[in-house]
């Protein structure tokens, strides 16, 4: 049996394809072949002519960070005059703006602030939730959570429990970039090891909080490093009852940081997202990134993605070169013109599989 036929058989049976199969597919198949297989995989969970979205913002409450990742354009070291830490009122103003634009979800994203303990985050999030009871919040990324637990000198289990008891529902999988230790040592040695990342994710899920999976491509990572990321993620998902709610892949923006480089072509992103849909057989929701690919991201709905955000702000990616449009109708028309019935959705529950 040839490669395409054997992968098709795996997908239809709901079985995982091997890294070797997926790598060969990525390296040798045509765009049409990857697209066709990704749609077979998507059809296990979703109608092929439908897509969902929500309007959301990423509120960056601090840019102070000590991790010094080479690919980051956002952070400022403590004592830098451009460093900031927003008050609850400042954060509220941003959330109000999102709400006035029809948004329903806020993701909080800051840096590795050396003085913020888990209780500080819990207090801020509780205050914001009280002010905006109808909105959903992704309250920390796993990476921030890990660092704050270290600052607080508590275990991840204790940190997750403190957040849960204060009303937190989500600590999401942001800050993952490429989950491969050699990549991490090259570009982000102060952030975490891959094992550490998944130890934290496990405690978050075990505590009953929701979480997600993310990936960023287009640095200088090798294809093998990308597949390491997908493989360890798929294994983690299988060992944890498929409880990660979604997988989102976006692209590195190379401006205003130490690493630099160039953006990858759109077709590389589309092919890779197709591979992600095929490989991650245990993820229902594969999301495409309007945040970094603008309307080109919507073509990925034809490469296995089923959902996207319409972002209203995110300083992290904008500092690195991303541009955000609030012309929501125009963006949605692109999806309609591609043949999709687009539906605004509510934020997902923390357990959706
Ligand atoms: S990517 Fe995140 S952890 Fe790394 S330097 Fe930037 S803000 Fe800090």
Question: pTM for the complete prediction?
Answer: 0.97
Percent of the chain with pLDDT over 70: 99
Q: Per-residue pLDDT for 1 more than 90?
A: no
Compute the mean pLDDT over every residue in the chain, rounded to the nearest whole number. 97
Query: Ligand 1 mean position to 78 CA, how many Å?
Result: 13
Residues 6 or more apart whose Cβ sits within 8 Å of residue 109: 58, 59, 60, 61, 141, 144, 174, 314, 316
Q: Per-residue pLDDT for 352 more than 80?
A: no
- Whether 189 maps to a domain, the answer reads yes
Is 201:142 a contact under the CB 8 Å cutoff?
Answer: yes
Query: Ligand 1 mean position to 72 CA, how many Å?
Result: 6
Is 57:103 a contact under the CB 8 Å cutoff?
Answer: yes
Q: Which residues make beta-bridge pairs with 5?
A: none
Angle formed at CA 65 by CA 60 and CA 67, multiple of 5 degrees: 130
Query: Ligand 1 mean position to 112 CA, how many Å?
Result: 7
- Computed from CA positions of residues 318, 321, 322, 325, in that sequence, does the dihedral angle turn out positive or negative? positive
- Whether 351 maps to a domain, the answer reads no
The domain of 154 spans 3-344
Q: How many CB atoms lie within 10 A of CB 47?
A: 11
**Residue 2 is encoded by which pair of tokens?**
């040839």
| Averaged pLDDT for residues 246-261 | 96
- The Cα 146–Cα 336 span in angstroms is 40
Question: Which CATH number characterizes residue 84's domain?
Answer: 3.20.20.70
List C-alpha distances in Å: 152 to 155, 176, 209, 285, 324: 9, 22, 19, 34, 35
Query: Ligand 1 mean position to 328 CA, how many Å?
Result: 29
pLDDT band at 283; cut points 50, 70, 90: very high
Query: Is the minimum distance from the CB of 53 to ligand 1 under 6 angstroms?
Result: no
Query: Is the minimum distance from the CB of 91 to ligand 1 under 6 angstroms?
Result: no
- Whether 170 maps to a domain, the answer reads yes
pLDDT band at 231; cut points 50, 70, 90: very high
pLDDT tens per residue across span 107-120: 999 999 999 999 99
Ligand 1 atom 1, closest CA = 72
**Residue 233 is encoded by which pair of tokens?**
């993620």
Angle formed at CA 110 by CA 206 and CA 74, multiple of 5 degrees: 135
- Whether 352 maps to a domain, the answer reads no
Q: Per-residue pLDDT for 187 more than 80?
A: yes
Q: Per-residue pLDDT for 154 more than 80?
A: yes
pLDDT of 351 reads 85
- Whether 222 maps to a domain, the answer reads yes
**Beta strands per DSSP E along the chain:** 50-59, 105-108, 136-138, 211-217, 244-251, 286-288, 307-311, 341-344
- The Cα 283–Cα 47 span in angstroms is 15
Is 84:62 a contact under the CB 8 Å cutoff?
Answer: yes
- The Cα 138–Cα 211 span in angstroms is 9
Q: Is 348 helix (H, G, I), strand (E, B) or coil?
A: coil
- The Cα 181–Cα 193 span in angstroms is 6
| Averaged pLDDT for residues 124-131 | 97
**Residue with tokens 């480089």, as numbered in its chain:** 261
- Ligand 1: atom nearest CA of 110 is 7
Helical H segments across 179-222, by residue range: 181-187, 194-206
Mutational test site, ligand 1, from 62, 73, 74, max ligand atoms within 8 Å of CB: 74
- Whether 35 maps to a domain, the answer reads yes
Lowest mean pLDDT among 283-292, 302-311, 317-326, 328-337: 317-326
- Ligand 1: atom nearest CA of 177 is 1
Number of domains making up the chain: 1
Q: Is 138 helix (H, G, I), strand (E, B) or coil?
A: strand
- Whether 349 maps to a domain, the answer reads no
pLDDT of 100 reads 97
**Residue 32 is encoded by which pair of tokens?**
């049409």
Element containing residue 89 per DSSP (H, E): helix 88-100
pLDDT band at 353; cut points 50, 70, 90: low
Query: Is the minimum distance from the CB of 67 to ligand 1 under 6 angstroms?
Result: yes
HSE toward the beta carbon, residue 194, CA cutoff 13 A: 18
Ligand 1 atom 6, closest CA = 72
- Ligand 1: atom nearest CA of 72 is 6
- Whether 167 maps to a domain, the answer reads yes
Ligand 1 atom 4, closest CA = 69
pLDDT band at 210; cut points 50, 70, 90: very high
């Amino acid at each position: 049996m040839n490669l395409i036929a054997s992968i098709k058989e795996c997908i239809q049976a709901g079985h995982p394809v091997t890294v070797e199969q997926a790598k060969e597919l990525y390296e040798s198949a045509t765009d049409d072949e990857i697209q066709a297989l990704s749609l077979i995989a998507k059809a296990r969970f979703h109608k092929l002519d439908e897509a969902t979205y929500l309007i959301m913002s990423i509120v960056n409450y601090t840019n102070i960070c000590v991790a010094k990742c080479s690919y980051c354009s956002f952070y400022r070291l403590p004592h830098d005059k451009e460093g900031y830490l927003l008050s609850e009122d400042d954060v509220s103003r941003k959330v109000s703006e999102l709400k006035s634009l029809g948004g329903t979800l806020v993701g909080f994203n800051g840096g590795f602030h050396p003085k913020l303990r888990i209780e500080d985050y819990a207090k801020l999030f509780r205050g914001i939730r009280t002010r905006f009871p109808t909105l959903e919040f992704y309250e920390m990324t796993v990476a921030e959570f890990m660092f704050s637990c270290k600052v607080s000198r508590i275990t991840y289990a204790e940190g997750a429990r403190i957040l849960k008891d204060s009303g937190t529902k989500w600590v999401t999988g942001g800050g993952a970039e490429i989950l491969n230790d050699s990549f991490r040592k090259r570009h982000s040695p102060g952030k975490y090891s891959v094992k550490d990342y998944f130890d934290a994710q496990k405690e978050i899920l075990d505590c009953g909080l929701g979480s997600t999976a993310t990936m960023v491509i287009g640095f200088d990572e090798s294809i093998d490093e990308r597949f390491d990321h997908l493989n360890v993620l798929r294994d983690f998902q299988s060992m944890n009852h498929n409880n990660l709610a979604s997988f989102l892949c976006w692209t590195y923006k190379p401006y205003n940081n130490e690493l630099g480089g160039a953006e990858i072509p759109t077709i590389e992103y589309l092919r890779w997202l197709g591979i992600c849909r095929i490989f991650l057989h245990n993820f229902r929701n594969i999301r495409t990134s309007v945040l970094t690919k603008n309307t080109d991201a919507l073509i990925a709905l034809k490469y296995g993605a089923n959902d996207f955000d319409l972002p209203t702000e995110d300083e992290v990616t904008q500092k690195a070169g991303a541009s955000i449009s609030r012309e929501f109708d125009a963006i949605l028309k692109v999806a309609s013109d591609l043949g999709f019935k687009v539906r605004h959705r509510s934020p997902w529950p923390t357990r959706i599989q």
